[in-house]
Homo-oligomer: A and B are copies of this chain.
Amino acid sequence: MLNTPFTTEDLLGSIGLFEGVSEGTLKQFRSQMTPKKYAKNEMVFAQGDSAYSFYVIKKGWVKLSRQTLDGEEAIIDILTEGHIFGETTFFEDVAYSFNAEAVEASQLISFPLPILKEAIMSDGTLSYNMLSGMSRRRQQQDLEIEHRTVQNASQRIGCFLLRLCKPDMASPIRLNLPYDKMLLASRLGMKPETFSRALNRLRKETDIRITGATIEFDSLSQLSTYSCSACSTAFPCVDHH
């Protein structure tokens, strides 16, 4: 998969943002897009850089983060296929307010920010898609905050695993953690040490089997019973777009 050429044919076809958008608008975007591959750990942009573009993730994982005054790194979000980033900058700032970095080999498409203004003003479908995406993201953020207060570390891991499951997965379910455990720990708001211990606790309390970065379990039910009992949303807390 990683070796298939990253052509420009119908690159926008499978992206939610462009679904149903008029051919004219698509042409605009196609003519100004820049597809690019990023290596693992390659920066896309840094906090403070002048903001010229926004990005759509075609493949891979991208980490958004910020430097705190005392030198710590705060993870804002970790995104994957179909997600957009950098576009919020358009409404507020002249410079990016966070870092973006590929945490895996990734394929991104960038577009000049000004193209957005015209497209929003003229293409209702695009606006609608964009609002829809932002709205979904906002609800996810809400959940995120809730989870961090009502769930303990093990439950948060369990919930994260559940959200990795696609609806069409057959039992037994077998998952690979999408990125390394350190990053996952901070994504879930805990320290690596805590993550390690919490994952162990989760293994003891449920029927999951762990081998390195691979996790297996037979059914969602035990995991969701354990993880979601403190939660307000019925299982699943999922964003299956």
> Which A residues have a C-beta under 8 Å from some C-beta of B?
66-70, 72, 74, 76-77, 87-88, 90-92, 97, 117, 120-122, 124-125, 127-128, 130-132, 134-139, 141-142, 144-146, 148-150, 189, 228-233
Contact = CB atoms under 8 A, between A and B. Distances in A.
Contacts of A128: 117, 120-121, 127
B150 A145 contact: no
A131 B233 contact: no
B145 A148 contact: yes
Nearest to A149: B189
A74 B128 CA distance: 29
A150 B76 CA distance: 12
A117 to B, nearest CB: 8
A21 to B, nearest CB: 12
Q: Is the interface of A mostly helix, strand, loop or mixed?
A: helix
Give this chain's copy count. 2
A232 B132 contact: no
Given A68-B232, A135-B92, A231-B68, A122 B124 contact: yes
A119 B229 CA distance: 40
A230 B68 contact: yes
Contacts of A233: 66, 97
A148 to B, nearest CB: 6
A74 B125 contact: no
A77 B142 contact: yes
A180 B91 CA distance: 33
Contacts of A229: 69-70
Given A88-B138, A121-B125, A141-B145, 15 more contacts: A66-B233, A67-B232, A69-B228, A69-B231, A74-B149, A76-B142, A76-B146, A92-B135, A120-B124, A120-B127, A122-B124, A127-B127, A138-B138, A138-B141, A141-B141
A135 B232 CA distance: 25
B120 A121 contact: no
A145 B146 contact: no
A158 to B, nearest CB: 15
B125 A124 contact: no
Contacts of A150: 68, 72, 74
Contact of A137 (B74, B117, B130, B138): B138
